[in-house]
Amino acid sequence: MEQPQSAMSKVSRSKIRVVAPAAALSNEGPFKNMRTTGNTLQFTLTPTHVSYANTVRRAVLTLVETVAFNSDIQELTGLTSDVVITKNSTPMSNEMLAHRIGLLPIHVSNPLLWKPEEYRFEIKAVNDSTTSMDITADNIDVYKLGSPDEEPQKVPSRKFFHPHPVSGSTCLLTVLKGRLSSEKPEELECVMKATVGNGKQNARFIPVSQCSYRYTPDPDEDKRNQVFMNWLTNNKKVSSVDLEADQARKGELQREFATMEAARCYLEENGEPYSFDFTVETVGVLTPVYILARALSLIQAKCIRYASINVGDLPETLKVVPADSQLQGFDFIFDQEDHTLGNLFQTWIEQNLMDSGEISFAGYKVPHPLRDQMVLRIGVEKDGQQVTARAAVAQAAKGCADMFGSWRASLEPFLAK
């Protein structure tokens, strides 16, 4: 997964090339041209900062809950968590087979209401024939469990494991080879429990097959040509007049421009892109509009948690210490947070508080990729007070929460369809 820049420095400002038209800076909802085709949602997010666009992308990939079989290996026992294999004579090891089972998409339309103890999933398969036997999701028996004195009710497996729309088959898990007269038949027995998780825990819980964005290309040919000429002069140090004599070289530069720089024509007054074309493709379990709305709600809730640190006690996952540098400031150490929150708060503070002079620096880092921890450094050279730094982070948290909350509210008409 792509990660935003985490250098402990102020966000640099690039040169102005094309100023955003005034109409693009209106107060309308940020989601433009919303359109759905099958399992794919496409829209333009504008006007906003690239860090906020990336926050949306990361929230979709890592925060939205789905239901899956957690097949992680437990450290103490060495066994898989929610996939218990009791018999396995296939060539695949128990760990590999459990991992494969864990990647099955489970169709639960409302993961927030899912109760793992209400269903049992199991496979009991023996191949007595002389030909090989495919074990697919169709071989999973599903039982709805009631009270201890009630008989479990069998549920059609395709309620949870949908077939492929073209082949009509469900996912292949493994193969039991045909029986030879001198050998025991191959068999497989396992019991699974489906639990709720998100992509930050493991990729098996990611609800989408794609969530990506690109800079919105500007359809104005005159503006594109103007940017192309400026790009030739400023970046390539090439005269457009001299280039007319070398059509081959001109073609190369035009192709290079069309590949990269052509998508940088929508720029706001500081020279930063402000419009982004998103594509969200669901794996089919949850609708893409629900996924987007849920991602916005979750990032809003994440921000709200830190919105009052200037007036009350700190959350258990946050501590504040003096910065371990010559900088007059403080380090906010967030446990269970990563680039998503760090880049978000850094950008908001840089955009909204740096010009006032109260805050002299805002930067973050993730000290170690295997440690679930983020450090946000706030410089307060003016007064050196921790209360000033805490107020800045609280303002960033509240500002971001309000922003994503309003974005979420703007999706209500699309959720109602």
- Beta carbons of 408 and 60 less than 8 angstroms apart: no
Mean pLDDT in the chain?
88
Q: Which residue, 33, 37, 20, 51, is CA-closest to 350?
A: 51
- Beta carbons of 198 and 65 less than 8 angstroms apart: yes
Please write the tens of the pLDDT for every residue from 213-222.
998 887 788 8
- Range in 91-95, 220-224, 317-321 with the lowest mean pLDDT: 220-224
Fold of 22-64+210-216+266-415: Gyrase A; domain 2 (3.30.1360)
Fold of 67-204: RNA Polymerase Alpha Subunit; Chain A, domain 2 (2.170.120)
Higher pLDDT, 244 or 410: 410
Whether residue 324 has pLDDT greater than 80: yes
Q: 27: pLDDT confidence band, cut at 50, 70 and 90?
A: very low
Q: 22: pLDDT confidence band, cut at 50, 70 and 90?
A: very low
Average pLDDT over residues 41-64: 96
Cα(294)–Cα(285) distance, rounded to whole angstroms?
14
Joined together, the tokens standing for residue 417 give: 């369809």
Q: Which residue, 279, 337, 272, is CA-closest to 51?
A: 272
Average pLDDT over residues 88-102: 93
pLDDT at 29: 81
Please write the tens of the pLDDT for every residue from 272-292.
889 999 999 998 889 999 999
Please write the tens of the pLDDT for every residue from 102-134.
999 999 999 999 999 999 999 999 999 999 999
Whether residue 8 has pLDDT greater than 80: no
Instruction: Kindly give the pairing relationship between strand 172-176 and strand 133-136.
Output: antiparallel
Cα(156)–Cα(149) distance, rounded to whole angstroms?
22
Q: Which residue, 243, 217, 249, 216, is CA-closest to 229?
A: 243
Contact residues for 292 (Cβ-Cβ < 8 A; gap 6+): 41, 56, 60, 280, 411
pLDDT at 342: 97
Average pLDDT over residues 224-248: 86
pLDDT at 114: 97
pLDDT at 28: 56
Higher pLDDT, 257 or 79: 257
Q: Residue 114: how many CB atoms within 10 A of its CB?
A: 17
What is the sign, positive or negative, of the torsion defined by CA atoms of 304, 310, 311, 316?
Answer: positive
Whether residue 65 has pLDDT greater than 90: yes
CA dihedral 285, 287, 290, 296 (to 10 degrees): 80
Rg (CA), the chain: 27
Q: Which residue, 378, 390, 377, 394, is CA-closest to 308?
A: 394
State the angle between helix axes of 288-304 and 50-62 in degrees (0 to 180), rounded to the nearest 10: 110
Please write the tens of the pLDDT for every residue from 389-416.
999 999 999 999 999 999 999 999 988 7
Domain boundaries along the sequence of the chain: 22-64+210-216+266-415, 67-204, 218-265
pLDDT at 4: 47
Global pTM?
Answer: 0.84
pLDDT at 201: 92
